[in-house]
Amino acid sequence: MGEVDPAFIQDPEHRPKLSPIEATGIPVIDLSPIINKTVKDPSAIEGLVKEIGTACKDWGFFQVTNHGVPLTLRQRLEEASRKFFSQSLEDKRKVNRDETTLTGYYDTEHTKNVRDWKEVFDFFAKEPTLLPVSSDEHDHRIHHWNNQSPQYPQNFRVIIQEYIGEVEKLAYKLLELIALSLGLEANRFEEFFIKQQTSFVRLNHYPPCPYPHLALGVGRHKDGGALTILAQDEVGGLEVKRKIDQEWVGVKPTPDAYIINVGDIIQVWSNDEYESVEHRVMVNTEKERFSIPLFFNPAHDAEIKPLEELINEHNPAKYRPYKWGKFLIHRRDTNFKKHNVENLQIYHYKII
């Protein structure tokens, strides 16, 4: 998985604590009122909207149960993921992601981020996916990107496409609940996704790590998109920075649940009413870990800025507009080459 950067050992901000705070964890929300078609009680929906809003404001993270995604489909993809990563490195690298291919396999040896202890396979939700060729604001070229698909396991492409279709349904339901919790129309966010979107699924494999005091599965970060919908196995390892005291809190796996977090885009849309929260993944010395996040992202040409309904003279816009596709490509480029400036963040667009 690559050698550990010596500078990392001296970096207290990234160096993991061996004894994170144990807690009951982030809120667990039952989505039955919107998934179960027989439920007609308006008060149940109102209660669900309030729960979602409180979780977004206080945590930025929550888990959902009774979410409507078929368990058998999730299990099929989890099995396919295990089979793919069980192959030899030579076979996995036949579908390498690189500077000219946006999806496929990569491990930390292929990026500048050697602090992360994992290997990954990325797959776009829509094919083709339209994205800018470069992050240069004067370069208006758009490329149509298609997925790479490994020969093994069998039917990999079909399984992952079926899975994406079901999780997308959940993503739209969650966006409706979040919109309602902000006092918006339920379909307010739909326009950013319905024509084109840049969402993608990531298969993560975290091998056992012999250097738990030096490495992380994934270093601390915030997600740049709108929503992340995460399926994780029973091993766990995800930690969230709790807003009230900035302490790292372990997220205990809930069987068959999904872990949801709001990303930077929702923070900007809500004009800081909801915050994208830092999180990281701890390594395990004995067990391998698998997870499958869907990063639900808008179209490349979506202009991201505080929504007009949520700003006024007493609560002016806190961010300058930016184009999502340019932001995403800049982020992607920094995986392979160092820029003269730090990785692009939404606070670079903050109005001071």
Residue 10 belongs to domain spanning: 6-349
Residue 255 lies in a domain: yes
Residue 2: partners with Cβ closer than 8 Å, 6 or more residues away:
107, 108, 109, 114
Residue 1 lies in a domain: no
How distant, in Å, are the alpha carbons of 16, 84, 269, 292 from that of 202? 24, 13, 25, 6
**CATH number for the domain harbouring residue 121:** 2.60.120.330
Asked if residue 17 has pLDDT above 50, the reply is no
What is the sign, positive or negative, of the torsion defined by CA atoms of 324, 296, 205, 150?
A: negative
Q: Is 237 left (phi over 0), alpha (psi -120 to 50) or beta?
A: left
Tokens describing residue 249: 């809190």
Write down the pLDDT at residue 21: 42
Higher pLDDT, 112 or 105: 105
Mean pLDDT of the chain: 88
Query: pLDDT per residue over 317-333, tens digit each?
Result: 999 999 999 999 988 77
Write down the pLDDT at residue 344: 85
Looking at residue 98, its amino acid is: D
Write down the pLDDT at residue 42: 82
Query: pLDDT per residue over 31-79, tens digit each?
Result: 999 887 665 678 888 999 999 999 999 999 999 999 999 999 999 999 9
Residue 253 lies in a domain: yes
Write down the pLDDT at residue 212: 74
Residue position matching structure tokens 């009774």? 66
Residue 51 lies in a domain: yes
Q: How many domains does the chain have?
A: 1
Residue 11 lies in a domain: yes
**Buried-state track 124-141, b at ≥16 Cβ within 10 A, e below 16:** bbbeebbbbeebeeeeee
